[in-house]
Amino acid sequence: MIIAAIDSYLEVAPLAWRDAVVQWCPEPTQWMVHQLITIVVILAVFGTLFAFTTIAERKLLGRLQNRLGPNRSGLPWWQKGPKLWGLTQPFADAVKTLTKEDIVPAAADKLLHFLAPTLIVAFSLLGFAVLPFGRHMVPVGLDAALLYFFAAGSATELAIFMAGWASRNKYSLLAAMRALAQVISYELPLILSVVPIVLIAGTLSLQDIVHAQGFWTFGFLPHWFVFTPWGFAGFILFLISALAESNRSPFDLPEAESELIAGHLTEYSGFKYALFFMSEYFGLTALSGLGVTLFLGGWQAPCAFLQFIPSWLWFMGKVIGMLLLFIWIRGTLLRLRIDQLTRLAWQFMVPLTLINLGNAAFWALTAGWTGPLQLVRWGVSFAIIVIPFVLMGRRLSAGRRPRTYRYAAS
């Protein structure tokens, strides 16, 4: 009983605190305070998450490559003090970027040059408005939340081109066009990989999609969409597209740091550069949240008896897990060439997502099959996605075998 009471209190605690503050305010301003608190909490939580994602990324990348990673930044004014495993590094980075000189090229369009980093952060934050963070925690409960998410997310492309154009630098402009080509190429498979969810759940509301995954077989096998053949394929396709959308390695060629100077960010320095960096991580976090919501059961616990842990903790845990997975992938894979990138999108991802859509349609049609027919349903659904995958994989990699290094010491 006590546990249940604590559980339900923790579940609604953030909302209760917000309502308490709102009640304390005068009546005419209550609606505004209500929204402002939500906005401030989202900014604070995800801003902190961004700060610690950067240090986690650097430390994890180090460990994945048998290095130590940053471990030296301790506390200011206490040089001999504890090093805290370098956990204060993000604050040192923030001070560094804030104190750096902000250089605007003489020929640049001053207004657009300033607007681009501001807008890209604003657009990348818009997606957080509709994510269901917990059972009762949806900042804006839109019915067409999924549509809104992609509409808001694709506005960042505008800011990318704005940055390239306003710099008045031919390299920035070319890089911005390359970045746009990449982002628009992968917009299609990203949205197509999500359509099967809409087909099965029958709704565009993210909260309803989470509710559709809220059952357990025998109390411990969750009915998350990722545990179906079409859902698993969709999740992998979504992961690849999300990586490309957020310019993450192995698709980080718009600003390939070892090959280009900084792509469309060439003419940006100091805090404006940090804002682009921030928006990249916000976009990645928002896409991770969307992936969690759509495929990994959102705020649902994996087992029925683990429901005593508040739902928003489950959501944040899953998002952090996704971020760690992205870091792991970045520490492993090599960067693609631009032709490989677009070939992967148009010859592989788009056909597979379309096939997966048909797969989901089959799954929806056979929802009434029971008993041994269930096995047939799973087998057919599995075959629909695996056979094209293997065949297309063979066709794509025909004539391309692992490179042999004749003159290198083996």
Partner 1 sequence: MLGTGILKGLAVTAKNFVGSYHDPARMVTQEYPDVQPQLPAAYRNFPFLVTENATDPMGTLRCVACQICEKECPPQCIYIEKSKDKKPDAAGKPQLYPAIFAIDTSVCMSCQICVEVCPFDAIKMDQVFEVAATDRFTGLLLNREQLAKPNSYFHEIHPTDADEVDTRLAAERKAAEEKAKAAAAAKAAVVAKPAPAPSATAPKPPPPTA
In 3D, which of 19, 344, 379 has the Cα closest to residue 182? 344
Q: Report CA-CA distances (Å) from 303 to 40, 80, 157, 215, 219.
A: 32, 47, 39, 9, 6
| φ, ψ of residue 124 in degrees (nearest 5) | -70, -20
Q: Report CA-CA distances (Å) from 307 to 134, 295, 313, 333.
A: 12, 19, 11, 36
Joined together, the tokens standing for residue 352 give 């597979």
181 is an interface residue for partner 1 by CB under 8 A = no
Q: Count residues near partner 1 (CB under 8 A).
A: 20
Provide, rounded to whole angstroms, the least separation between the CB of residue 207 and partner 1. 33
Q: Which of residues 31-60 bind partner 1 (CB under 8 A)?
A: 60
Among 23, 29, 35, 65, binds partner 1 (CB under 8 A): 65
Provide, rounded to whole angstroms, the least separation between the CB of residue 333 and partner 1. 7
Provide, rounded to whole angstroms, the least separation between the CB of residue 397 and partner 1. 6
Give yes or no for a contact between 250 and 329, defined as CB atoms under 8 angstroms apart: yes
Helix or strand (DSSP H, E) at 12: helix 2-24
Q: d(Cα 337, Cα 346) in Å, to the nearest integer?
A: 14
The window from 7-15, 96-104, 256-264, 325-333 that contacts partner 1 (CB under 8 A) reads 325-333
387 is an interface residue for partner 1 by CB under 8 A = no
Is the four-CA dihedral 371, 372, 373, 374 of positive or negative sign?
Answer: positive
Provide, rounded to whole angstroms, the least separation between the CB of residue 326 and partner 1. 12
Joined together, the tokens standing for residue 187 give 């917009």
In 3D, which of 307, 213, 214, 318 has the Cα closest to residue 10? 307
Provide, rounded to whole angstroms, the least separation between the CB of residue 384 and partner 1. 17
Binding mask 215-254 for partner 1 (x = CB under 8 A): ----------------------------------------
What is the DSSP secondary-structure string of 351-365? HHHHHHHHHHHHHHH
Nearest 5°: the CA angle 151, 156, 161 is 130
Nearest 10 degrees: Cα torsion 50, 54, 57, 58: -170
Among 67, 96, 110, 337, binds partner 1 (CB under 8 A): 67
Joined together, the tokens standing for residue 312 give 């928003």
The window from 203-211, 267-275, 292-300, 324-332 that contacts partner 1 (CB under 8 A) reads 324-332
398 is an interface residue for partner 1 by CB under 8 A = no
404 is an interface residue for partner 1 by CB under 8 A = no
Provide, rounded to whole angstroms, the least separation between the CB of residue 352 and partner 1. 11
Which alpha helices (H) appear in 225-337, and where do they start and end? Answer: 229-245, 270-295, 311-332
Provide, rounded to whole angstroms, the least separation between the CB of residue 151 and partner 1. 32
Among 7, 16, 44, 63, binds partner 1 (CB under 8 A): 63
Q: d(Cα 231, Cα 213) in Å, to the nearest integer?
A: 12
Joined together, the tokens standing for residue 6 give 């604590």
174 is an interface residue for partner 1 by CB under 8 A = no
337 is an interface residue for partner 1 by CB under 8 A = no
Among 36, 68, 75, 144, binds partner 1 (CB under 8 A): 68
Among 17, 215, 308, 328, binds partner 1 (CB under 8 A): 328
Closest to partner 1 by CB, 59 or 113 = 59
Closest to partner 1 by CB, 237 or 360 = 237
96 is an interface residue for partner 1 by CB under 8 A = no
How many CB atoms within 10 Å of residue 22? 17
Is the four-CA dihedral 102, 103, 109, 112 of positive or negative sign?
Answer: negative
Provide, rounded to whole angstroms, the least separation between the CB of residue 196 and partner 1. 20
396 is an interface residue for partner 1 by CB under 8 A = yes
Among 333, 338, 365, 376, binds partner 1 (CB under 8 A): 333
383 is an interface residue for partner 1 by CB under 8 A = no
CA atoms within 13 A on the CB side of 375: 2
Closest to partner 1 by CB, 103 or 333 = 333
Closest to partner 1 by CB, 105 or 331 = 331
In 3D, which of 251, 262, 254 has the Cα closest to residue 336? 251
Closest to partner 1 by CB, 110 or 395 = 395
Provide, rounded to whole angstroms, the least separation between the CB of residue 310 and partner 1. 30
Interaction site with partner 1 (CB under 8 A): 60, 63-68, 328-329, 331-333, 389-390, 392-394, 396-397, 402
